[in-house]
Amino acid sequence: AYVSPTWHEEQVVPTWNYQRLHLSGAFRFIADGNSAEKLSMLDGQVSHYEQGQWQLAKQPQALLTKMSEHIRCFEIEIAEQQLVEKVSARKGQSVRDAIAAQLQRQGLHRLAQRHQ
């Protein structure tokens, strides 16, 4: 979120407060081609997300074959995660409260909470 120098007396330049998450890991394709494994994976996802409204088993085989040609199954294994944040942690409580009040006015409630 943008933090204006007008929001409190100690700030003389604009700044940004933020949170970001760095992830590292490995990416790999799985279940390539028109394999039974791929259809099984797709069926599991369709069952989970469609909740019976649309079913893979009720589709024509030609559609399933064509569809599976254009779908690539993959997984991302997350090996490490690191949270990086700058939320005025070094500022005094009155400054953090002033920033939080402005963020609340902008509807950035979760970020405002991080300043309190």
Give residue-wise pLDDT tens across range 5-30: 888 877 777 788 788 899 999 999 88
Rounded-to-integer distance, Cα 7 and Cα 72, Å: 49
Torsion 2-89-91-86 (CA) sign: negative
pTM, two decimals, is 0.48
CB atoms within 10 A of CB 43: 14
- pLDDT score recorded for residue 77: 95
Alpha helices in the chain (DSSP H): 36-50, 61-69, 93-105, 109-114
Burial of 84 (0-12, 13-18, 19+ CB in 10 A): exposed
**CB 89 within 8 Å of CB 15:** no
51-60 mean pLDDT: 91
- pLDDT score recorded for residue 33: 67
